[in-house]
Structure 1
Amino acid sequence: MQPITLASGYGNFAVPEVALAAASQALEAARQTGEPLAVSPAAGLPELREALARRYCQRGATGVVAEQVVVTSGAKTGLFALLSELLRPGDDVLLPTPNWFGFFELVRRTGGVLRTRPLAAADNYTLTPETLRAALTPATRLLILSNPNNPTGRVYSRAEWAALLAVTTDFPQLWVLSDEIYEGICFGAVPVPTLLALPDPGQRHVVVSGFSKSLALAGWGVGCLVAPLALARAVVARLFATGVAVPVPAQLAALAATRHAEEIGAGLCAQLTPNRELLLAALAALPGAPATVAPEGTYYIFADFTRFLTAGVPVVEASAQLVQRLAAAGVEVVDGATCGAPGFVRMSYAVAEAELREALVRLRKLLAAVWT
């Protein structure tokens, strides 16, 4: 039986035509002239940095300038460079969970000590100001939030951000990092707010994003970050010393996608909607399904499968066993334990409809047997 993966973090999206055309023009020019490709500055092409700053301004972050924007070889490279600059050995990092599993290793490799603050599905993963204040200490160097959240799809509103930042301003040593790579995949009534649109009197807010999710440029290796000027310059110096700039054709593709971001995002959401509804309905029809709130962002559903875990087995081990049984039945998912929530599974619906339907048939068959 051919396995069907619902575990991938990348969607099955066609590359936007405007991005293909922009990259192709650069390659064709090199072919015709016989000259080498241009090499980008370490911080990225000025026109791409300007376009990104302009888009953040359009989203309400009116103070952002191009010099704060750094183009990176994917969002993960940007995160690693940023954390390497921000964290000192032993620094305390607070991560509300569930959250992207990559943060755990990135913080470890950059010298930080990760502390998690589990949030509950029962109240839609709400992080209240009171909960945040209780979790912060004078030793906390960095707070990491994802908006929209991977894996839950939870979107934090501007009002929620404002309430949380009213707490963080009482901790002058604290930096706040918002991972906004899924910001264009949104099914809510209002667009996903950016942290950069909120007041930052201490100049300690940072955003990391990329082009592989919301702008359908998976495989092109382009990310970006926006930081206060001094930190942005430090990150650029680190990238210059340790790597190479993103190739110009990929940056030109990203520039074209940035200039057409709204229409690309709208097209992806329209493409995803039927599968989203299909998966939500199928999960709701499973035996013992709890009442859930449909996530507003990303192309994942973070399903509560705790009722299918083997009784008497430690929860992390039982979670891994269930994911292994699903894989043996031909459906690959992400174990929620890797995101801080054992017993949950992350499933992507950014796949072909036929594959999703077949995966759901296999899923129902296995889970019905487990339930009985």
Structure 2
Amino acid sequence: MTVTATGYLNWAISKYHDLRCDLATSGTPRIGAAEVGAPEVVDDFCTWEALSKFVAEREGWGADEVTAASGATGAMTLACAALLSPGDRALVERPAYEPLEHIPAAFGAAVDRLDRREQADWKLEPDVVRAALRPGTRLVIVTEPNNPTGTFSAPETIAAVAAVAREAGARLLVNEVYHRFHGAPSCRRADRGILVADSVTKFEGLGWARGGWLAGPADVVRRARDAQVTLSVLAPSSAAWARRALTLPALAERARRMASAEKRAVVARWVAAHPRLSWVEPSAGIFGLIRVADPPDLLALAERLLASHGLLFAPGHFFGVPGTMRISWSAEESCLREGLGILGHALKR
């Protein structure tokens, strides 16, 4: 296994803390363990099965179609471990969260890129997927809603992409960690052959717990569970905290409030007021991708504003889209307005 350094995460880990104006975090603000309330059991591996069973019953899936994982990224790692061998190919979306490219490569797969087109509102296009598939492609990897654009493909489109992948001998793996911000059901409602990764890190705000799950056809999930045991990548406490979070309606209510349409409208008006800025406005969610005409060095700008104002946004080059910024509206509205004002002034210079 050859692991490539992930530039975005190394940068984010060093910057995403003690922020005055957080326009960068792509999820509900962190909620502490004391506010969630401790699970009854955190020190027994029975928590893996308890989380899997809870998710399966909630979604109407078989118990053998779900396995606990270390967040959505851990779930995608298990899927790649189950399905990829050296010499296989994986088709990975672009723009994308950087680990989506590195994880299949770590298992020896050659990685091809699936370009989402801005002209198509960054949404999946089955014909584009078909054209990008190559002999030996075993896995098509996407995020719905997409990170960093925030746009969400229609369920029938996702099902069509799954069918295109299946015809080519591949499977569709969807990171759907943001779908609940859109009030949308799992992609597996459209096609039970789809593999999905999800977690409580983004919507519920328990990034520190690293609790998630992989769902898919039973034969793949069985191999993923074997990989979990072999790789030892999930603490019992992670699964316990995830199950606890999923039982608390207050966390879902909090997430919907932080991702309100009113705050998205604040960002939309800000974009419209600046001639150099444009975007494909997401229909819901908690972040979007904003293009900057004649852009400055956006990484340098982000670090300068962090030093001078405690403000941070995510430069789009980390996601494969230079000249853009991922802006989140997860902060309180007063903080959001202040941060956008500072950023807008800096972009006018």
Query: What is the TM-score normalised by the length of structure 2?
Result: 0.84
One-letter identity of the residue aligned with 2:50: E
Partner Cα distance (1:264, 1:323) in 2: 30
Match 1:52 to one of 45, 51, 55? 55
Query: Which structure: larger Rg?
Result: 1
* Residue 95 of structure 2 is aligned to residue 95 of structure 1: no
Aligned 8 A contact 2:92 2:114 in 1: yes
1:208 Cα deviation from its structure 2 partner: 0.8
* Residue 181 of structure 2 is aligned to residue 185 of structure 1: yes
After the TM superposition, which residues 110-121 of structure 1 pair with which residues of structure 2 at under 5 Å, given as runs? 110-121=107-118
Match of 1:255 in 2: 243
Cα deviation per residue 1:215-263 (whole Å; 9 max; x = unaligned)? 2222112011013222222222222222264334x434322332346x6
1:322 Cα deviation from its structure 2 partner: 5.1
Partner Cα distance (2:36, 2:253) in 1: 19
After the TM superposition, which residues 49-198 of structure 1 pair with which residues of structure 2 at under 5 Å, given as runs? 49-57=52-60, 64-171=61-168, 173-186=169-182, 191-198=183-190
One-letter identity of the residue aligned with 1:157: A
- Distance change in 2, residues 1:9/1:115 (3 Å): same
Aligned 8 A contact 1:309 1:322 in 2: no
Aligned 8 A contact 2:258 2:331 in 1: no
Match of 1:214 in 2: 203
Partner Cα distance (2:87, 2:112) in 1: 12
Partner Cα distance (2:160, 2:210) in 1: 35
One-letter identity of the residue aligned with 2:188: L
Partner Cα distance (1:224, 1:92) in 2: 24
Match of 1:279 in 2: 267
One-letter identity of the residue aligned with 1:251: A
1:49 Cα deviation from its structure 2 partner: 1.6
After the TM superposition, which residues 222-371 of structure 1 pair with which residues of structure 2 at under 5 Å, given as runs? 222-243=211-232, 245-248=234-237, 250-260=238-248, 264-273=251-260, 274-290=262-278, 292-305=279-292, 307-309=293-295, 318=297, 320-321=299-300, 323-324=302-303, 327=306, 330=309, 331-369=311-349
Partner Cα distance (1:169, 1:237) in 2: 24
Aligned 8 A contact 1:183 1:297 in 2: no
Aligned 8 A contact 1:182 1:297 in 2: no
Aligned 8 A contact 2:72 2:198 in 1: yes
Partner Cα distance (1:160, 1:193) in 2: 14
- Distance change in 2, residues 1:325/1:309 (3 Å): farther
Partner Cα distance (2:233, 2:300) in 1: 42
SS in 1 for 2:37: helix
Structure 1 unmatched runs, 5+: 27-36, 58-63, 311-317
Match 1:12 to one of 10, 29, 32? 29
SS in 1 for 2:341: helix
Partner Cα distance (1:163, 1:238) in 2: 29
Partner Cα distance (1:129, 1:236) in 2: 30
Aligned 8 A contact 1:208 1:224 in 2: yes
Partner Cα distance (2:287, 2:332) in 1: 14
Cα deviation per residue 1:283-317 (whole Å; 9 max; x = unaligned)? 22112333x44213431121111x1325xxxxxxx
Identity over aligned residues, as a percent? 24
Partner Cα distance (1:145, 1:157) in 2: 14
Partner Cα distance (2:26, 2:265) in 1: 19
One-letter identity of the residue aligned with 1:225: L
After superposition, the CA RMSD in angstroms is 2.7
Aligned 8 A contact 1:51 1:259 in 2: no
SS in 1 for 2:317: helix
- Distance change in 2, residues 1:326/1:136 (3 Å): farther
- Distance change in 2, residues 1:109/1:218 (3 Å): same
Q: How many pairs are equivalent?
A: 330
1:131 Cα deviation from its structure 2 partner: 1.3
1:272 Cα deviation from its structure 2 partner: 2.6
SS in 2 for 1:350: coil
1:269 Cα deviation from its structure 2 partner: 1.5
Match of 2:3 in 1: none
Superposition misfits of 4+ residues, deviation over 6 angstroms: none
Cα deviation per residue 1:114-157 (whole Å; 9 max; x = unaligned)? 22122222331132222111111222111011111111111122
SS in 2 for 1:94: strand
Partner Cα distance (1:238, 1:286) in 2: 49
Partner Cα distance (1:166, 1:308) in 2: 40
